[in-house]
Structure 1
Amino acid sequence: MRILHLLVFLLTILLWEEEVSCGQSYYYFNPYYQTYRKKYMARMRGYHPRRYKNYQRDPSTVSKGDFLTSRPNMCRVKEVYGTGQRFYEGKVPQRRVCDRPTYIRYQCCPGYNMVEGEKGCPAVQPLQNLKFTALDLLQQKFPQLLTNTELEGNLLYQGAFTVFVPIDKAFENITYDDRQRLHPWTYHAPSLLHYHVVTGRYNYTTFKKQEEVPTLYYAEKKLRINKYPSGVATVNCARIMVPNQMASNGILHVIDRLIRPLDYRGTIADVILRDQRLTKFSQMLYKANLIDTLQKSKHFTLFIPEDKAFRRLSSGLNNKISNDRKVATAIAKYHIVKNTYCAASTVVSAQLVTMEGGFLAFICKFNGNYVNDAKLIEEDIVTTNGVIHIINKVLLPNTVKDILQVAHELDLTRLTELVHGAGLADWVQSRPEYTWFAPNDAAFEALSPIYKEALQEQPGLVEQMLKYHTLEGRMRTDSLVGEQTLRTGIDARIKVGVYHNGITVDSAHIVDSDMESSNGLIHIIDKVLIPPELNLLELIQSDPELEVFTNAIKKAGLEDLFKQQPNKQLTVIAPTTDAFYRMPTYTREDYMKNKEKLKRLIARHIIDRVVVSSGLDMSTTYSLMSRQLEPVAFKIEPSGTLWINKYAKVQARDHLALNGVIFKTDRVLHCLCKDIT
């Protein structure tokens, strides 16, 4: 009996090890556990399986197409949770639409049906004419309005046509004028329905941006089709909800609203000048000489603030808008975007370039559409040459904000706090036409605690720091050249470097650039620039670890080279005293006794340009020639260690002087020390 118990025990252990090695427990194979697991995982992913039986949570990593492969003629439709909005899968790739999660619904593709006992939708329906195809799509109102009209005969027997069918809900609560225009007064008279019909087949995949096509309406009036990078397509700003429904005599697209001719309201200028809510903006347009452009040119999108929005501006800014043509022009152009962007054009966010040259963020949120932080209170006013959206705030370009306001909006919090704390806000805001190298918050965090405390307690130090970060005039990055030195607000010069990984000033990288303001230009950098106070010789002499190198410079008679003016910048590789004593004694003494040979050794450690470690890419070799015409190769390892010529380890880097930069190394560089003529 004991032997039997022992065998059972050993068998249990073996089975347990096998289960653990597979990463599965006994319960994994239990069907009750599997049912619970699926329900639990479904709830964790944000939906309840009982409520959404035929939904599957997006992302579409589930099955990777295997589901559709095994079930022919089934289509995936993306539905936005809580709204009923649907997008054909693949047309809108985003997992969230207007801050709401999306789900995938599987259904038969148009023209196919299920067959009992078979997977997918194997039954093929024969194509019907356009009218009956609309009825099959459960859109009743449009076919009903066709009854006893000439258009009905065309859609039944003629073709080929492309028809944009509004959903039934679009015909609810329409105006009296629209109701009259939907019903032709005679059999042959065109109605508003004719405006929804285009001759020829227009497939979703062939739609183009700003495409205007003639309709069957009076005098072949055109409608505007737009296809956006988000995957959405619109016709006169009505979103195409169900595209490419094939019929025997054309193609049918279901849209979310009734559309009207482009000239229904006139041009953009006509709409603005007629609307009593937009008088302030129309005055700006007159001052900026833009009325004629908005009357004759196309295509534009305008985000127009209502008059209430201007009352929320400061009196000083309102006076500038009224009296300064330059300010009025900048603000007006900042609200104008080339090309047509309907409210449905973005399902998450899009960056738009304005006529002024700045950028706007067009954002779709769960509670409506926004441009920057202004909400659209009326959308999609379609005109012959574009579209208008009315917003609740005035959008201000950086060119009308002072440099401190722009810095605050760029989230340069630590810098702006220092400026205000030192009482220098008026000085920063009132200075005309200058360039500011502005350190980001991470740059201030990286400072030593002593220096940070000094900045908090000494306004004079803050002023000196700010002056070292500023240049007279607007200097864009296009004007910055490698090996350039720039005069700052104090005596010290900033050293400019251009590398494969970007532009540096001193040892800081420019991480964002060319942000305009009314009185200057901002470049964001990733380090706080500390103005040097010593030249190269003084900096070397002040370091006790460089005592032998200092003596070598004196014996070689090269003091003047290291004291020269800031217009001649050098990179000095300074071996420490320990580095010299690592050399064989006879070699070191030979150099120290021979002045000419010592000069060549020191020249071996000098480069006639500034090199900073922030300009070096990781795991790449940056090679230059020394004054002795022997190679100097810098390389930063993934660990962050900087090596020179693979054997000299840099112990301290980027020590800035008035006339160059110093790297301290633990080895003296090998020198052929040939005589150079």
Structure 2
Amino acid sequence: MKLLFVAAFALFVLSSFDKADSSAYDKILTHSRIRARKEGPNVCALQQVMGTKKKYFSNCRNWYQGAVCGKKATVLYECCPGYMKLDGMRGCPAVAPIDNVYGTLGLVKATSTQSYSDISKLRPEIEGSGSYTFFAPSNEAWDLLDEQMRSALVSNVNIELYNALHYHMANKRFLTKDLKNGMTVTSMYNDLGLLINHYSNGIVTVNCARIIHGNQVATNGVVHVIDRVISAVGNTIQDIIEIEDDLTTLADVAQQSGILESLGQAGHYTLFAPTNEAFEKLGSDVLERLQNDKEALQALLKFHVLNSVQCSEAIMAGSMVLKKDIVTTNGVIHLIDQVLMPDSDEVMSMDQRMLKIILESHILKEKVTLGQLYNGQQLETLGGKFLRVFIYRTAVCLENACLIRGSKEGSNGALHLMKTFLKPAEKSMFEILTENGGFKIFLSLMEAADLTDLLKQEGDFTLFAPTDMAFAGLSDSDLNLLKSDINALRTILLYHINGGVFIGGGLETGVTNLLKSLQGSNLRANNSMLVNSVQVPESDLMATNGVVHFVNHVLYPADMPVGSQELLMLLKRLITYIQIKVLYEKVIYCYKDFVQMKPQNINNATSHKVPDKNLHEKHHRVLSKRVEITREHRFFSPLMEKFCSDVVICLYFHTEMY
């Protein structure tokens, strides 16, 4: 019911959006500068949504709430567009050098787009005379692109890549103030249109790709960096409904109601499209009643359509959106997992079955007080489902939801206030990952390591599951290399699994929570859902045998020996936070620059110690602290381990005092 209410409310809010003032982006940018004025000239305050890489210029409401659309955010300070830092000076006092469009791509760190401009022979055009607008995908945007699609573009460099980049360009300069809500900009590829949305919250999108760095002025135009690669659009909303396998039920009822053809007409629409599974949740009796009442069916379907384009970036859609921003020639489609019900007695009466299911999941068959709850306890609900109890140092939780202080006991029961709606587990970890579809590589590695049964068997586990994005850029030979060393592979995979169920609400605030992995080493997590300094984009997916948290990076046990140099190099590409890599590089640096020994004489390194008596007292304290920290870690080679303490002292003496 909460999801239905949120969806209905979101639709109301979306429908009430007025067209944004063309300068909304600039107004938000001005506010961000004001918020960052203490940091120096030309600094902007941004808010990064926790657990994601999404950053937004701060507006007044988000600033005081410390959140973006209800999602907690941290404050960052960066140079405002067009400005640069100078060594030894506060803020961003320097104006960025102006260059042509090609050179500007490098200045704004859109180096992948710059490289593809070289490969596709677009460079002479964007270095030459003219007035262009380039909506340039960021490096991260190219990394997110499907590997097959990206390979196809690069392999057809004389045609496909050139055309794809031309689709991101307009033969006229458009600053953000010129990009008005609802306008269509003619691209340089076959004159196909680019749909612009300029929302009142300052967000500007191009075919639903958000401008993350705008108004990078060039001598021959302007560059706007966007957060995704956009593809040429040729289908209408009607076409997508008719060809999408997940929308066959919607296609049938839209045809019966007579509104399908209207979704093929020119216009600017947003369709929240219920999938086949969403219609199944209604029950066959409800669906049959709808199909026998054309007027009611038509009203229900129209409730899913807006007469304006609302991209997900403008509304930050909730968990009920399965697939977002399917851009068409006449609007955008978001796939949702529930049929939205208008707030009326006639239609809501059909939703009593769903309401009953939700409420029954929150009511226990027996009275249980707070003092009677214990870890591992299973409580049966009126609906026949079981809720597991998890006791943490500072929290008591049932499944994904933790109790708020203030439980009350009455004569006929007990009332416990929860921080969120309960979601009883219905699927195993293996089923969750398989049905999601974004964990094919991780599952294949688990199978190669003979660990798949671990995801299926009964138990209480916490899994930090690397998405396919975590393995971006790996070739088949790279994956085969990973699979070739079964012991190393098992060690890496088991490091992602913890024995015990740990949800976000159960982690203690303000400290580092150590979670012992099945590999044996500790994972470090905090209540903002960062594990080993890696962000967790989606968390608390409850499974019958534990809980799943998604991560976009591979985690690595720092004390694991790596025998193969090939495997070490592969891990360096994969892993964001890997201590052995850092320490290895520093040891070689020290060895070469301070000890001055040849690699073949490395066994004699222990004789080169730095006498404590030669150290200044202040630096000695620093060195002692640094050495104490580094001694917690182990190196990948027994030879390194043999002389690590002496060399590390040498290393920090060198770097701290000279």
The answer to which structure, 1 or 2, has the higher relative contact order (CA under 8 A, 6+ apart) is 2
TM-score (structure 1 length as normaliser): 0.44
TM-score (structure 2 length as normaliser): 0.45
Give the structure with higher Rg (CA).
1
- Higher share of residues assigned helix: 2
